[in-house]
Structure 1
Amino acid sequence: MSVEPEIVAEAYRLADAAAEAAGVSVRMAEPGDMTPVIGLFERTWGVGRSPDRSMLLALDYAGNTVLVASEGAKPVGATLGFLGWSDGIHLHSHMAAVVPWRRSGGVGYALKLLQRAVCLEHGIVEMRWTFDPLIRRNAHFNLVKLGAEVVRFLPDFYGRLDDVITGSDRSDRFEVRWLLESARVRGALAGTPRPGWEARLRLPLDVDYERLRADDPAAAARLRDRSRALFTDALAQGLRPELDAANDYVFVRPETDATAPPAAPEGT
């Protein structure tokens, strides 16, 4: 589909502003970037966990989003997304990596906003990806800062990964969709306060799950079991997980359970 030029221009403006705020430059990768991109992915997930150079080159050549964020001449972040057509054409954002010392500094946000701008330029108005629902910072980033919304729960989606992040833990995932032109997304990118929610169900995210998984695997496994049962039941009821002001999950019916939802900002 066609996207209005002014919407595309505004998307690039937001991406440029995010990169400037993070102190990086973000751009489409070039062939010479593929080795550093592989290094970033393997630093995050482990040796052998990145697509190889030929695959990245092919994906990039075909027009998918292989993006790199650099601080000066040094790459500090990268992301990979490719087109999909299940339930409609979209970009599936599959991998995103940022060096440890630049995490929580806006690099991932800048990469996501450039992905959004590139998609809109090419008439793609939806992105999707998966994330571990028990990692609180990722839930906040995806649902609040970006304005994505959960569409399904995928128990043990990848099977046993045995990578640096997940280890032997089960790879439960939420799939989210990011409707790039929606009022929800435009409001999130403008920093509009999220609505209050009247919860039908609730799951506190008051534990650092990654630390718990490392320090007490048995307790982490119990939390995984409990959350899996809750997620499965809630989504089967047609409820959607959102985050409240304390960044805990609340399961709601969005059409009825939002209290004082904000209007979309003018001019965004």
Structure 2
Amino acid sequence: MSVDPEIVAEAGRQADAAAEAAGVVVRMADPGDMNAIIGMFERTWGPGRSPDRSMLLALDYAGNTVLIATAAGKPVGATLGFLGWSDGVHLHSHMAAVVPWRRSGGVGYALKLFQRSVCLQQGVADMRWTFDPLIRRNAHFNLVKLGAEVVKFLPDFYGRLDDAVSGSDRSDRFEVKWRLDSPRVRRALAGRPQQAWSTTGSLPLNVDFEHLRADDPRAAELLREESRVMFHAAMAQGLRPELNADNDYVFTPDPADPTDGARQ
């Protein structure tokens, strides 16, 4: 598909600005970067949890987004995405990692905006990925800061992962769609708030689920079960989860972007 050249140019400027704000350079990876990328993925998820070097090289050679962020020439972040065509051509953004001492500093945001810019340059206006719906900071980043929208609830999507992040917890996931040239996304990236949602239910996200999972596994298991029931019930009724101003989930019948088709 073709994308408005003005939006493509705007995406490039936004990616550059995000990288500058984070103090990094973001670029497509070179073959010599693969060991560093594997190291960052394994630092995040554990030994053996990264695609091996040959797979990363093949994905990179085929033109997929194997990206690296560097600061003063040293690797501080990486992301991996590959093309899919289920329900339309899109980029599936599969892995993203930032070294611990640079987290919450805008590196992940810079990687995501560079990934968006690359996609739009190639005429791909749809990016998707999954995330654990109970991790509050990820929910805020995805739905509010980026303007992605939840399209599916995928209970226990990966099965038992036993990695450094999830341990033995169930791998429930939301699938989000990031419609890269949509008014919703452009509003979010400009720092403008989304609409106030009409709601028919809510689920507070007022605990740090990662700490709860480590400190009180039984309480975390109960919250997982409660959320699973609520997500199933809401989405079966045609409701969508969004975040309110307190970063709690609300369930709404409103369209994800009532201004679709309007130029912002």
TM-score band by shorter chain is over 0.9
Matched, 1:35 2:35: yes
Shift of 1:59: 0.1
Shift of 1:101: 1.1
| Equivalent-residue separation in structure 2 for 1:92 and 1:72 (angstroms) | 29
Shift of 1:265: 10
Aligned residues of 1:192 and 1:265 also touching (Cα < 8 A):
no
In structure 2, the partner of 1:56 is: 56
| Equivalent-residue separation in structure 2 for 1:57 and 1:46 (angstroms) | 20
Shift of 1:6: 2.5
In structure 2, the partner of 1:99 is: 99
Matched, 1:13 2:2: no
Deviates most, 72-81 or 189-198: 189-198
Aligned residues of 1:25 and 1:69 also touching (Cα < 8 A):
yes
Shift of 1:2: 1.7
| Equivalent-residue separation in structure 2 for 1:184 and 1:64 (angstroms) | 25
Secondary structure at the residue paired with 2:170?
coil
Shift of 1:262: 8.8
Aligned residues of 2:147 and 2:184 also touching (Cα < 8 A):
yes
Aligned residues of 1:186 and 1:264 also touching (Cα < 8 A):
no
| Equivalent-residue separation in structure 2 for 1:265 and 1:68 (angstroms) | 34
Deviations 1:106-160 (A, max 9, x none): 0000000000000000000000000000000000000000000000000000000
Letter in 2 for 1:60: D
Letter in 2 for 1:65: T
Task: Name the count of aligned residue pairs.
Answer: 264
| Equivalent-residue separation in structure 2 for 1:140 and 1:102 (angstroms) | 18
In structure 2, the partner of 1:206 is: 206
Aligned residues of 2:183 and 2:259 also touching (Cα < 8 A):
no
Residues 57 and 232 of structure 1, relative CA distance in 2, 3 Å threshold: same
Secondary structure at the residue paired with 1:254?
coil
Aligned residues of 2:182 and 2:260 also touching (Cα < 8 A):
no
Alignment of 1:126-165 (within 5 A): 126-165=126-165
Residues 34 and 223 of structure 1, relative CA distance in 2, 3 Å threshold: same
Deviations 1:167-225 (A, max 9, x none): 00000000000000000000000000222122111000000000000000000000000
Deviations 1:41-63 (A, max 9, x none): 00000000000000000000000
Q: Which consecutive segments of 4 or more residues in structure 1 shift more than 4 A?
A: 261-266
In structure 2, the partner of 1:86 is: 86
In structure 1, the partner of 2:44 is: 44
5+ long unaligned stretches in structure 1 = none
Letter in 1 for 2:117: A
In structure 2, the partner of 1:254 is: 254
Letter in 2 for 1:105: G
Aligned residues of 2:19 and 2:110 also touching (Cα < 8 A):
yes
| Equivalent-residue separation in structure 2 for 1:149 and 1:240 (angstroms) | 9
TM-score where L is the length of structure 1: 0.95
Secondary structure at the residue paired with 2:231?
helix
Letter in 2 for 1:181: D
Shift of 1:4: 2.9
RMSD: 1.7
TM-score where L is the length of structure 2: 0.97
In structure 1, the partner of 2:25 is: 25
Alignment of 1:231-242 (within 5 A): 231-242=231-242
Alignment of 1:107-126 (within 5 A): 107-126=107-126
| Equivalent-residue separation in structure 1 for 2:248 and 2:7 (angstroms) | 33
Letter in 1 for 2:45: W
| Equivalent-residue separation in structure 2 for 1:177 and 1:108 (angstroms) | 17
5+ long unaligned stretches in structure 2 = none
Letter in 1 for 2:189: L
Percent of residue pairs identical: 74
In structure 2, the partner of 1:196 is: 196
| Equivalent-residue separation in structure 2 for 1:203 and 1:227 (angstroms) | 7
| Equivalent-residue separation in structure 1 for 2:204 and 2:61 (angstroms) | 44
Secondary structure at the residue paired with 1:195?
coil
Shift of 1:263: 10
Aligned residues of 1:78 and 1:96 also touching (Cα < 8 A):
yes
Deviations 1:69-112 (A, max 9, x none): 01111100000000000000000000000011111110000000
Residues 264 and 207 of structure 1, relative CA distance in 2, 3 Å threshold: farther
